[in-house]
A and B are shown apart, each in its own frame.
Chain A
C-alpha cells in the first residue's frame, strides 16, 4: 500500500547521524551465521549511544548513532555501540565485524528476518533480497529545509566516487577476489530504483516526481528509493548511502567528518550544479571507483576529460580543511588524507591478509578482531 511522503522535518543544519550495517559471524569458521533476533531479544542495552536493530537477514545487524553536532560525538557513540554489541555477541557465541561484503558466505543460506516489511521485500524482490546481505554505512546530514535536502542530493552526487574509494572494503564475493575494491554496490544496483536521483530543482519537484512513481505503481514508500544519495524527510536529513561499512568505527567516523565538511562547504559556496551532465557520467564514475578505488579515472562532464580520483580526493580534502577546522573535525579528515597518501584502504588490508593466510576464514577472523578493538586514530597501523 502506498504511503504519502512525510513532511520534511526541519533539523539543525550539519548535525550528523551514522548507520552501520554489520556482519554476524560464527566463531567456529567465521562464516555468516543467523542470530540477530535472539541477539536483540536478550540484549540489556539502554539506548544511550543510539539504536541497535534488525536488518533484512538474520546475519546482519544495524547500529545507528544519536544525532550529534560533532564528529567526536559520532565516534563516541560508535565506540559505545560497538562495545555493547561485541559484548552481547560474545555472550551468544557470535563474532561481529565490518566490511562491505562477507568474503565467502553463500547467499542462498541467508534467512529473512521476521517482520512485515522484510517479508514484503522478499516477496517483491525474491533472491535479490537474500543477495542484499551486503553491509553499508549511511551518513545523515541535517538540513534546514526540504529544498536544501534536494539541492544537496544533487550537489553531493559528483563526490560519490570519492566516498566509494575511501570506504571500499568489499573485494571478495563468494570466496573469490572480484578485482573490485567495492563489490558491494553491484548487489545494490540490481534493484530497479537504485542509482541516482534525477535532476530535480526543489522539494516540490521531488514530491511531484515521487507521486508519479507512486501513480505508476513503481514505488510505494520513500524506502523503495535505493538511490546513492536521497532525502530523508522523517529525520530532516540528506542521506549518503554509497559507503561500504568500513572495517573500523574510526574510519566510519572519518567518513562522517568528510560528509559534514563537504556539506558545509557546498552550502557555504553554493556552486552552480550541472546535474544533467553529471548524470551522463555518474554510473561510469561509480563503476570506476568501485573497480579501481584510488586508481580510478573519473570522467569530468564539464571539462570533458578524465581526472585521477586520487587527485580529486586530495584536492577535495585540502579544500575542506577550513570547514573541517570550523566544525572541529580536522583530525578525522587528516586520517583520510593519510590513508590516501599511503594508499591504505580496507580493501587493500583484506587482500593483504588473504595473501598472508591463504584462506578467507582467517581474514574474516582478523577483521572481527580488528573491529572489536580500539583502533585509535591511525589507519597506517592497520596494514602491518
Chain B
C-alpha cells in the first residue's frame, strides 16, 4: 500500500516538475533529520501510551514501536533507513555505557568482599548455565555456544539505567542492581573478546586474525577510552565543577570516542564502558564525578530502542527457536537469581537478594550489538548461529524492563508516581 501511495506521489511530483523548474527531484530517501524525528515521535507516543494505560516501562513501548514499524512487520522503517540511524543509536548506546562505566566503583568491592563473591558467582554461573544449555540442549557447536553465552550472560546496562532513572529509584537493591549489571557487562566484554578469537579459529586457518582481532578489540577500545577520558579530564579540570560547560565536554568527548571507535572498528559499547570506568577510577580530583549527562540523552535512548526493536529478526521466528530462547532465558534467570540468593552480597533478607536477581534480568541493546559484531565476522554462518541469543534478546526487550521495574517497586525503592513530572523521562 505504501508503495502505491509513493508511486502516485512520484507521478504527481514529476508532473509538477515539468512546470515548476525549481522543484528538486522526487526525494527517494527520507532525510536523516526527518527520519530521526519520526522515530522519536513514534517511539515516544507508543512508550507514553503504554506507560499511561498499562503502567509499563517506556522502553517497552520504544522497542514495540521499532518492531512494528521496522522491516520485519510493516516495513515503514527500511533496512537502509536503519543503517542511516546507526550512528545515532551508537551515540545513544555509547552515552549509556559511559554512564554505567562511571557507576562501576571498584572501591566498593574492596570494602565488601561478599559483593565480589556474589558478582563472581553470578557471572560464572550465568555463563556456564547458558553455555551448557546452548551446547547440550540446543546443540550448537562449542564456539557458537560460547558466543551465545557471551552475548546473553550479562544484564542490559542501558535498560537497567533507564528504568532506574524513570522510576527515580534509590536504595540498596538499586545500588546492587547497577553494580552487578556493570560487573557482568565487564565480564561479558572480556568473554566477547575471547569468543571473537575462538570464532576466527573455528572458521579460518588464519591464526593471525584469531590472535590479533581480539587484541585489536580490547587494546583498541582501551586506548581510545583512555585517551578520551584523559582529554575529558584535562579540559574539564579548567572549568567549574558541575558547570554546563563540563556537561558539554563530557558529551563531546564521549561522542568523539564513539566516532573514533566506529572508524577503527572497535566496539562502541566496550570503548565507552571502559571510558566510563577509567573516569570513575582515575578521577582522583573528582573533576567530572558530579557532572551528570544532560536529560537530552533520553531523546537518543528512544532512538536506540526503536532501532533495536526494528533490528531484531522477527521475520525469522519459528516456534522451535522461540522455545529454545525461552529455555535459555529460564536457565539464565535461575542462574542469576540462585547465585545472588546463595552468595548473599550483604543484603540481609533473601527476598531482597532475589529482587536484585530479578532486577538484572534485562537483556538488550548491548547483547544485540554484540551478536551482530560476532555474526558479522562470518555472515553466512553467524546470523543463523546467533539467532538463539537474538531471539532471547527479543523476548527480553519486552519482558526485561517490566521485570526490572517490578524488582525496584517491590523493593520499595521507586519514587511515588507523580504524573505532573511525567515527560520524556
Contacts and interface: CB of A to CB of B under 8 A. Distances in A.
B415 interface: yes
Contact of B112 (A90, A109, A359): A90
A35 interface: yes
B415 A38 contact: no
Interface string B121-152: 00000000000000000000000000000000
B240 A42 contact: no
A93 B179 CA distance: 10
Contact of A93 (B108, B241, B286): B108
B181 to A, nearest CB: 14
B103 A28 contact: yes
Contact of A27 (B105, B170, B241, B347): B105
Nearest to B171: A34
A114 B412 CA distance: 10
B175 A29 contact: no
Contacts of B175: 35, 92-93
A359 B240 contact: yes
Majority secondary structure of chain A interface residues (helix, strand, loop or mixed) = loop
Interface in A76-100: 90-93
A35 B171 CA distance: 5
A41 B170 contact: no
A308 interface: no
Contacts of B352: 38
B241 A358 contact: yes
A34 B242 CA distance: 23
Interface residues of B, number: 27
Interface string A357-368: 111011001000
A362 B103 CA distance: 18
B349 interface: yes
A299 interface: no
Contacts of A114: 412
Contact of B168 (A27, A35, A58, A109): A109
A90 B109 CA distance: 10
B409 to A, nearest CB: 13
Contacts of A35: 170-172, 175
A33 interface: yes
A380 to B, nearest CB: 27
B260 interface: no
Contacts of A358: 240-241
Given A28-B103, A93-B105, A359-B240, A34 B170 contact: yes
B346 A29 contact: no
Nearest to A42: B348
A29 B171 contact: no
B19 interface: no
Given A28-B103, A91-B111, A109-B415, A38 B289 contact: no
B369 to A, nearest CB: 27
Contacts of A26: 170
A266 B108 CA distance: 50
B241 A359 contact: yes
A359 B242 contact: yes
B290 interface: yes
Q: Which of A26, A28, A33, A357 has the most CB of B within 10 A?
A: A28
B112 A34 contact: no
Given A33-B170, A34-B171, A92 B286 contact: no
A40 to B, nearest CB: 9
B290 A38 contact: no
Interface string A139-175: 0000000000000000000000000000000000000
Given A28-B105, A109-B415, A359-B290, A41 B348 contact: yes
Contacts of B172: 35, 38-39, 92
B290 A91 contact: no
Interface string B349-393: 100100000000000000000000000000000000000000000
A104 to B, nearest CB: 10
B289 A29 contact: yes
Interface in B296-354: 346-349, 352
A86 to B, nearest CB: 10
Given A91-B112, A358-B240, A361-B290, A42 B171 contact: no
A93 B280 CA distance: 14
Nearest to B415: A109
Nearest to A359: B241
Contacts of B240: 358-359
Interface string A2-41: 0000000000000000000000001111100111001101
A123 B412 CA distance: 19
Contacts of B108: 27, 93
Nearest to B286: A362
A90 B114 CA distance: 12
Contact of A361 (B112, B241, B347): B241
B412 to A, nearest CB: 8
A315 B297 CA distance: 60
A27 B175 CA distance: 11
Interface of A: 26-30, 33-35, 38-39, 41-42, 58, 90-93, 109, 111, 114, 357-359, 361-362, 365
Q: Which 3 A-B pairs have the closest CB atoms?
A: A38-B172, A42-B348, A90-B111
Given A34-B413, A35-B172, A90-B112, 4 more contacts: A33-B170, A38-B347, A93-B108, A109-B170
20 contacts: A28-B103, A28-B105, A29-B290, A34-B171, A34-B413, A35-B172, A38-B171, A38-B348, A39-B172, A42-B346, A91-B346, A92-B112, A92-B172, A92-B346, A93-B112, A93-B179, A111-B170, A361-B286, A361-B289, A365-B286
